[in-house]
Amino acid sequence: MKISDKQIAQVNDRINALVTAGSFYGKKLKEAGITGISSAEEFEKLPFSEKSDLRDAYPLGLMTAPEEEIVRIHSSSGTTGLPVIIPYTAKDVDDWATMFKRCYEFAGITNKDRIQITPGYGLWTAGIGFQAGAEKLGAMVIPMGPGNTEKQLKMMVDMESTVICATSSYALLLAEEIEKRGIKDQIKLKKGVIGSERWGEKMRKRIHDELGIELYDIYGLTEIYGPGIGINCKYDTGMHIWDDFLYLEIIDPVTGKNVPDGEWGEIVITTLVKEGAPLIRYRTHDLSRIIPGECPCGSKFPRIDVIKGRTDDMMKIKGVNVFPSQIEEVIKTFPELSSEYQIRISHLEGKDTMRIYVETSGEYDFDALSKKVAESVKSRIGFTPIVKVVELGLLPRSEKKTKRVIDERYS
């Protein structure tokens, strides 16, 4: 998937806007003597943008449109140090809602649907993105925000919500609560739009089975508008990405070179029409791949695979590179286990130790099961972890992102 001539013209327009505004990246481009590009090869030589740069631009260094045109900011929470502030113009806000409306349409959601939104509102891009797209579609929004499961379920029943928007872990929590209360026959949900968290096939299946709904994965990140820049269609062959607003590349995270379509690597995104804070070649650190060929739905929007993990989730244990997705794939092969897990890495008596906590119901022999899981993980990653089997429901589920890897070596 090469950058098109139209996209090259859009990139040049954004480079020009950045340099003219003299914003953080404008200055960088000017110093590097970059005034524009004329080919895909030249595009692939443009410097990357990194989250650490965005922090350096704190608070408003990214602002590229005149201040009187900025209508809103959003912020992504940094786990370390300063947050990133992204300014939006009215057009950016509207473009984002247009993209999000398209997401709902690809999921077959219409203005007759009632959309219950559980992601948070505020500095976060989550809740408000789901809401603006739904309003543009003309659907009825039930803007719950996160938490208060009691009230969520009451509104879900009374308002006869047909669509739930949630993180995967919160959708699972709601599914479990519905099951527990035996109110499934009062629930009118048909579809779930699930975002902002990587989730395995097993978890997806559980939510699907327990709620009996179609599930759609939404992609996005605060630095690039927010959630809603892509979604899978009903054929479920990967997420379509809106390439009239964004250009997406997949690179080798180590060499920084583009990889051929179909190969896994890191997603890099360039905003083509963003005004408030345009980004050129932003490294997302999300791992995915371009899915070659055409989707059976006939849409020409390119597709990426489900996000497999993050380049910075990579754990180096006993000198081996391990991704949480590898552990997840092993867990998936055990029908006795739930989809929840937790990995703890510690340094004991001079060596690295990996402990994996998994859940099962009381009907299985915990010791035998932990041995089997440990062997299976060893055959996958090359060394034997300590596997602890716990009772179903003991591992944390959260309304936001569930932290599944805890590295105790450096704390």
User: Residues interacting with Zn ion, by CB under 5 A?
Assistant: 233, 295, 297, 299
Q: 330 and 199 in contact (C-beta within 8 Å)?
A: no
- Copy the structure tokens of residue 392: 């179903």
Beta-bridged to residue 266, according to DSSP, are 251, 287
Closest residue by Cα to residue 166 from 140, 193, 142: 193
Min dist CB 242 to Zn ion, Å, is 13
Min dist CB 214 to Zn ion, Å, is 14
Nearer to Zn ion, 183 or 297 (CB): 297
Min dist CB 97 to Zn ion, Å, is 21
Nearer to Zn ion, 146 or 302 (CB): 302
d(CA 383, CA 377): 8
d(CA 10, CA 15): 9
Nearer to Zn ion, 22 or 293 (CB): 293
Nearer to Zn ion, 297 or 395 (CB): 297
Min dist CB 307 to Zn ion, Å, is 17
Nearer to Zn ion, 243 or 399 (CB): 243
Min dist CB 240 to Zn ion, Å, is 6
Q: 79 and 35 in contact (C-beta within 8 Å)?
A: no
Treating both helix axes as pointing N-terminal to C-terminal, what angle do 90-106 and 126-137 enclose, rounded to 10 degrees?
70
d(CA 63, CA 259): 32
Min dist CB 229 to Zn ion, Å, is 15
Min dist CB 5 to Zn ion, Å, is 25
Q: What DSSP assignment string belongs to 53-115?
A: HHHHTTTTTT--S-GGGEEEEEEEPPSSSPPEEEEEEHHHHHHHHHHHHHHHHHTT--TT-EE
Q: For 136-164, give one letter per residue: b (16+ CB within 10 A) or e.
A: bbebbbbebebeebeebbebbeeeebbbb
Nearer to Zn ion, 186 or 299 (CB): 299
Nearer to Zn ion, 234 or 380 (CB): 234
Nearer to Zn ion, 235 or 364 (CB): 235
Q: What DSSP assignment string belongs to 287-328?
A: EE-EE-S--TT---S-EEPPP-EEGGG-EEETTEEE-HHHHH
Min dist CB 238 to Zn ion, Å, is 8
Min dist CB 298 to Zn ion, Å, is 7
Nearer to Zn ion, 242 or 323 (CB): 242
Q: Residue 1: how many CB atoms within 10 A of its CB?
A: 16
Min dist CB 295 to Zn ion, Å, is 3
Nearer to Zn ion, 295 or 358 (CB): 295
How far out from the chain centre does Cα 130 lie? 14
259 HSE (CA, 13 A, CB side): 20
Which residue type does 227 have?
A: P
Given the structure tokens 């690597």, which residue do they identify? Answer: 265
